[in-house]
Amino acid sequence: MGYLQSIISEILGIPLLLLMFICPALEITKFIYFKKHPDELEFDNFIIEYCYLGISVLFPITVIISLIFTKCRIRILEEMNKEEFLTVLFVWIIIAVVYTILTNQELRPVPYYCPSSYRYSTKIVEIACKIRLANIICMWLFVIFGILWVVSYCFCLLPQREEVPKVKKKATFYQTSIDQEEVIVAREIIPGSS
């Protein structure tokens, strides 16, 4: 079962880890692009944009800090407590739902899925549409992989926290054997010892 757990862990963990970095990168790209072209593009809701940006940037920062403090052990997702990950996932789902609802008409009248056959007013609007679409797809992929991760963890398809091998520090002990006579002799030789 250990080999299967490792395979499932990597199948779900690698995309999760990548999406943790891709989602904020896409949101930052969207921010920059919309700010660069304020005449043609504007945000529907600044508050949800900033909330999503904050949450999405927080995850990679947390991963980087965890990697620093665990001396670059990549298996930090496996070691996360189920409750910790559920909290993160729950917050992410709430943000994803609210973000999707509040930004669905952001580039009206452009269709949400950015078809290539649509006649965009400018190339800027077409690129913005594709950035927004990639952002939403990655956001929901994170939700899907996160839910699969939690379900797999609950059904013991991932290594449980106590099963994850810890890095053992190598310690060397030198053992000497001293018998009772040597201790007595040593006491008598050392002056001032009583």
Q: What is the pLDDT of residues 87-116, one digit of tens each?
A: 888 988 999 999 999 988 888 888 888 999
Above 50 in pLDDT, residue 53? yes
Above 80 in pLDDT, residue 1? no
Q: Are 13 and 78 in contact (CB under 8 A)?
A: yes
How do residues 64-80 score in pLDDT, each as one tens digit? Answer: 887 787 766 656 655 66
Q: Are 139 and 99 in contact (CB under 8 A)?
A: yes
Q: Where are the extended beta strands (E) located within the chain?
A: none
Binned at pLDDT 50, 70 and 90, residue 160 comes out as: low
Is pTM beyond 0.85? Reply is no
Long-range contacts of 149-153 (CB under 8 A, 24+ apart): 149/12, 149/13, 149/16, 149/77, 149/85, 150/82, 150/85, 150/86, 150/89, 152/8, 152/12, 153/82, 153/85
pLDDT value at residue 172: 46
pLDDT value at residue 74: 58
DSSP assignment, residue 191?
Answer: T
- In terms of pLDDT, which residue wins out, 77 or 127? 127
Binned at pLDDT 50, 70 and 90, residue 82 comes out as: low
